[in-house]
Chain A
Amino acid sequence: MKNERKRTFLLITIPILALFVCFNTIPLIRGVIYSFTNFKGFGSYSWVGFRNYIDLFSDARVGKSYLFTFKLAIVTTVVVNVISLILALALNSKIRAKSFFRGTYFLPNILGALVVGYIFNYFFTYILPALASILGSESLSTSILSNPDSAWFGIMVVCSWQAIAMNTIIYISGLQTVPEDVYEAGGLDGATGFKQFRYLTFPLIIPFFSINMVLCVKNFLMVFDQIMALTKGGPAQSTESISYLIYNNGMSGGQFGFQSANAVVFFIVIVAVSVAQMKFSGKKEEQL
């Protein structure tokens, strides 16, 4: 009887584990192996030792893409969380047509990022400048995507537009865990408005705040679709995200080996960031 149970579990685990190893672990290892070659993706290749890694750290284009990706991830995370918290507080207060509002605010999240990017691309190139020139705004009368200093802002807007939906919903479910009597008790102590939020509500939804932070940072560090749709890395290579650079140069640019090295470093960075975040939020929660 006991053996039957054990055997069944093994029979379930082994094939699924094999599938996982085959399409996750083995490609990962192969990626690491390719990172030590000068493989172009076709033809023959040779071992180059750590040359790709050395190049990686002296390559301005790669450095720029890391800077861009991190800048985008951090700014977008902050913007998204601030706006979603405000929206969540509003949506959780006593309002009419609550479920209509919730439903509509979540809408952007279900739409494909690529097509959303294409739609916004048109707005930034044609509609926004047209609106701006009517309003007499000089700085916005040209497409923000055509200027290396402002193109990232356009990408940030599109990423936020979609991500806010998700984070708001998570904050709402967080706010619903706050019992009504906490506010009542707080109201007696004179905690209202922002004070009430700062000292009563926010500490209680910290776990949800951590979830949102982790989700945001991880998603935005891997940003790809929006870049593909909006700028394809331009202008002047100012909006190349790490994923985009790896795809573009690795698959079509003949840098299979070199970009594999980039991907390995990127992997380590993602793991480091995730671990750091979990440690940090774990500590935060303990303090409370």
Chain B
Amino acid sequence: MKGKRIKCLGSALCCAMTALTLWGCGTSADNNKVEIEIVQYKPEAAAYFEMVEEEFNATHDDIHLKISSPNDAMTILRTRFIREDYPDIIGIGGDINYSYFVDAEILADISDYEGLKNIKQAYLDIDETLKFVPQEGVFAVPYVANAAGILYNKDMFAEHGWEIPESWEELMSLCESIKAEGVLPFYFGFKDTWTCLAPWNSMAVDLAPADAAKQVNRGETTFTKEYKEVSEKYLKLIPYGPDDPFAYGYNDACTAFARGESAMYPIGSYAIPQILSVNPDLNIDSFVMPASDTKEGNTLNSGIDLQFCVMEGCKNKEAAYEVLDFLIAQENLQKYIDAQIAIPCREGDFELSGMLDGMTAYIESGNMTDYQDHYYPSEMAVDAQIQTFLLNKDVDAFLQKFDTDWQRYNRDIIRLVQEYEKEHGN
């Protein structure tokens, strides 16, 4: 009896171990195909990338493409980098993570890639300024840009005869008149800290120098000086939002705006698909955040939303380039733009969504400025600091902390910049 039980346990263990080994072997792919793996950080575009994956694999016999669009991709990517388990291509934003990856030399130089010729110079320049110090080589193919400002409910505006504001004063009086008619002017989703950055960025481009972060790194100015006006004006937006903006997340805010609970929502164009998924019939348009006192002082907040980088560890660059070719092909890019309401980074005839109408003039004239937060180190958690500031409304304490934290979290970058300048006699 006892012996039997031991045997049972023993055989169970054996079975488990066998299963274990078999499982491990089952995952290897077809051997004569080159496998290219993309991890891209926009889960909201997952459906588009599934389609790309399918079409690419149907038309290519020699390459097997695998695209994953995980949630919280930056955490997953960083965790994978810690494990030194690199995908072949990563799709990331043009932000400080890109700067870090360039600095860490884990991205491949793709200046020999033919497709770069079709990319608009302005976006290649943005990538150039994102490098901490000038560095030889091109490390990313800009794919699409986004624009942040204010989304508004077109029907509601038409119904009440509200005008699009072009200066801060007009915006404030617009909010007053919206409120007077019993409608909520703004919705916020501040429970997700990153949404605090959306109004911040679109106001900061109007009110602070475009290279504020770099100026501070060189010791020429302080954020206390540059961001004072932004902070003060930001606080003035809050009373026009819901009673408890910190209770709701991004999804809640999108849903509320989609259901017509507010007239405007200060967020980027990237939120439109999410809003439409709740209410496909909503008539949305957008306008540039008029944070400046004059019309001329305003600029559109636009940056690289998605770009593709080939990793240094990629074994088959040829195959990776073929995948990139497929991605930036005009008809595929157009599909992305339609699905995500984005702005293409390559030359060519593209049809922009009508929901960006209010911003087209700025896009066409090139009056655009990159996101300020693309230069903030992620571990400084500026989004959470802004959230704290919006809760306790203390401008001076917030900016003072911003300046001291900046020095600490950017210590290594500042030293890098200083060493570079010393070396190059600047």
Known: A42-B81, A235-B246, A236-B384. A253 touches B391 (CB 8 A): no
Enumerate A114-143 residues with CB–CB distance to B below 8 Å: 125, 129, 142-143
Which B residues are in CB contact (< 8 Å) with A125? 247-248
Contact across chains for B379 and A55 when beta carbons are under 8 A apart: no
Contact across chains for B379 and A146 when beta carbons are under 8 A apart: no
Which B residues are in CB contact (< 8 Å) with A108? none
A232 vs B191: C-alpha distance when bound (angstroms)? 9
Which A residues are in CB contact (< 8 Å) with B82? 41-42, 251, 256
A148 vs B191: C-alpha distance when bound (angstroms)? 11
**Is there a chain A Cβ closer than 8 Å to B283's Cβ?**
no
- Please give me the residue from chain B that is nearest to A43 by CB atom: B104
A250 vs B387: C-alpha distance when bound (angstroms)? 21
A38 vs B391: C-alpha distance when bound (angstroms)? 33
A201 vs B260: C-alpha distance when bound (angstroms)? 62
Which A residues are in CB contact (< 8 Å) with B50? none
A-B contact pairs, 22 of them (CB 8 A): A38-B412, A40-B100, A42-B78, A43-B100, A43-B104, A43-B105, A61-B381, A125-B247, A129-B247, A142-B244, A146-B191, A147-B246, A232-B193, A234-B387, A236-B387, A236-B388, A237-B384, A251-B78, A252-B72, A252-B74, A252-B378, A253-B378
A55 vs B84: C-alpha distance when bound (angstroms)? 28
A41 vs B392: C-alpha distance when bound (angstroms)? 34
The smallest C-beta distance from B350 to any residue of chain A, in angstroms, reads: 34
Which B residues are in CB contact (< 8 Å) with A232? 193
Contact across chains for B104 and A44 when beta carbons are under 8 A apart: yes
Contact across chains for A252 and B75 when beta carbons are under 8 A apart: yes
Known: A44-B104, A146-B244. A234 touches B193 (CB 8 A): yes
**Is there a chain A Cβ closer than 8 Å to B106's Cβ?**
yes
**Is there a chain A Cβ closer than 8 Å to B421's Cβ?**
no
Enumerate B223-248 residues with CB–CB distance to A below 8 Å: 243-244, 246-248
Which A residues are in CB contact (< 8 Å) with B396? none
Beyond A125-B247, A236-B391, 20 additional contacts (C-beta under 8 Å) are A40-B100, A42-B78, A42-B101, A42-B104, A42-B106, A43-B101, A43-B105, A43-B106, A142-B244, A146-B246, A234-B191, A237-B381, A237-B384, A237-B388, A249-B379, A252-B72, A252-B74, A252-B75, A253-B379, A258-B379
**Is there a chain A Cβ closer than 8 Å to B273's Cβ?**
no
Contact across chains for B391 and A40 when beta carbons are under 8 A apart: no
Which A residues are in CB contact (< 8 Å) with B105? 43-44
- Please give me the residue from chain B that is nearest to A51 by CB atom: B411
Enumerate B183-202 residues with CB–CB distance to A below 8 Å: 190-191, 193
Number of A residues near B (Cβ < 8 Å) is 30
A126 vs B72: C-alpha distance when bound (angstroms)? 25
> Which of B106, B377, B379, B412 has the most CB atoms of chain A within a 10 A radius of its CB?
B379
Partner of A254, one of B100, B193, B246, B392: B100
**Is there a chain A Cβ closer than 8 Å to B118's Cβ?**
no
- Please give me the residue from chain B that is nearest to A142 by CB atom: B244
When each residue 70-99 of chain B gets 1 if its CB lies under 8 Å from chain A and 0 otherwise, what string results? 001011001101101000000000000000
Known: A236-B388, A252-B78. A40 touches B104 (CB 8 A): yes
Which B residues are in CB contact (< 8 Å) with A253? 378-379, 381
- Please give me the residue from chain B that is nearest to A236 by CB atom: B388
Enumerate A238-266 residues with CB–CB distance to B below 8 Å: 249, 251-256, 258
A42 vs B248: C-alpha distance when bound (angstroms)? 34
A42 vs B387: C-alpha distance when bound (angstroms)? 29
Contact across chains for A233 and B384 when beta carbons are under 8 A apart: yes
- Please give me the residue from chain B that is nearest to A125 by CB atom: B247
- Please give me the residue from chain A that is nearest to B389 by CB atom: A236
The smallest C-beta distance from A232 to any residue of chain B, in angstroms, reads: 8
Which A residues are in CB contact (< 8 Å) with B176? none
A281 vs B387: C-alpha distance when bound (angstroms)? 43
Contact across chains for A143 and B244 when beta carbons are under 8 A apart: yes
Partner of A252, one of B79, B391, B408: B79
